[in-house]
Amino acid sequence: DQQVKQNSPSLSVQEGRISILNCDYTNSMFDYFLWYKKYPAEGPTFLISISSIKDKNEDGRFTVFLNKSAKHLSLHIVPSQPGDSAVYFCAAMTLGVAGSARQLTFGSGTQLTVLP
């Protein structure tokens, strides 16, 4: 049972345009969400996160939107650059009890290709 789903395995966008990557989750206990970027032959790198008490978080060209009622989040990249071409993973966690490790549940990733 996939608790975090990224239904689009790939996305192609023209340089300078907006990239929108989507993620859906089923576990209502999740209260913290992250996006990771992964280049080939490298491990995932943290990009941006959002707590369930917010509906938007912005960091430079990257904005994450959270719609709790729909259990949906999205990552917007504006403007998209060729260097943004990578696999993007959505991940979710439950902050849980203090002193316990907070485990991430990942989606299967979306390959973003930004065309020059």
Partner 1 sequence: DAMVIQNPRYQVTQFGKPVTLSCSQTLNHNVMYWYQQKSSQAPKLLFHYYDKDFNNEADTPDNFQSRRPNTSFCFLDIRSPGLGDAAMYLCATSRDNQGLQETQYFGPGTRLLVL
- Asked whether the CA dihedral 25, 28, 29, 35 is positive or negative, the reply is positive
Neighbouring CB atoms inside 10 A of 92's CB total: 24
Which residue ranges make up the site for partner 1 (CB under 8 A)?
Answer: 2, 4, 9, 32, 34, 36, 41-46, 49, 51, 89, 93, 95, 98-109
Q: In angstroms, give the least distance from the CB of 93 to partner 1.
A: 8
- For 23-41, letters b (16+ CB in 10 Å) and e give bbbeeeebebbbbbbbeee
Of the pair 15, 113, the CB lying nearest partner 1 is at: 113
Neighbouring CB atoms inside 10 A of 90's CB total: 26
Of the pair 15, 94, the CB lying nearest partner 1 is at: 94
Q: In angstroms, give the least distance from the CB of 17 to partner 1.
A: 25
Of the pair 84, 107, the CB lying nearest partner 1 is at: 107
